[in-house]
A and B are shown apart, each in its own frame.
Chain A
């Protein structure tokens, strides 16, 4: 079965630094990979989507890379701010007719001022 791992449960960094979160998967290559942000007591909110034929996608201070050889996606937040503190989830979309996502357990990012 497909497995997805976010190899850090928690990541603590200083304000202004770049945060890098890792998402690894096994078995099948996903059609798309998505990143979500989740704040305590709230539902996940979509951030970025990257397709299997894309190497990199950017949105403001966010950057996602997708390496199908390594079976890995990296999520970067540049010039991090305390407001970026949240749990970040990666999710695989295998495609098909259901559009189901397989979620990782998430990485809790804390940005200290």
Chain B
């Protein structure tokens, strides 16, 4: 298994540009999520999905969209990039959320810089 994969690894955008961060997992996990990690702050949840066709907002959803058309893929879209979205983005998946004791498996991250 490749686990959780993310592309691209690095990206530089100009303010106002849009882009999609890709995330895929091959473990047949139902639950997927996106976090951002900023210096001096913990990982913060952006959006999550408990299964194909179901998404919901996390702690910091503004400026981001997600969709979940398949179990495997969970792309994160930046609609109009802003310098405040400069961060490292991690995608994670787990077999099931909530009462399950399954751990979260994280991807390698995408380092995004918005100029």
Interface residues of chain A, those whose CB is within 8 Å of chain B, are 4, 31-32, 34, 41-46, 49, 51, 89, 91, 95-106
Contact = CB atoms under 8 A, between A and B. Distances in A.
Interface centre among A43, A44, A46, A105 (most CB of B within 10 A): A43
Contacts of B44: 103
Contact of B96 (A41, A42, A99, A100): A99
A95 B99 contact: yes
Interface residues of B, number: 30
B27 to A, nearest CB: 13
Q: Which 4 A/B pairs are nearest by Cβ-Cβ distance?
A: A99-B97, A43-B106, A46-B103, A103-B42
A96 B101 contact: no
Contacts of B90: 43-44
Interface of B: 4, 31, 33, 35, 40-45, 48, 50, 56, 58, 90, 92, 94, 96-101, 103-109
A96 B97 CA distance: 8
B50 A97 contact: yes
Contact of A106 (B42, B96, B107): B42
B109 A41 contact: yes
Contacts of A91: 43
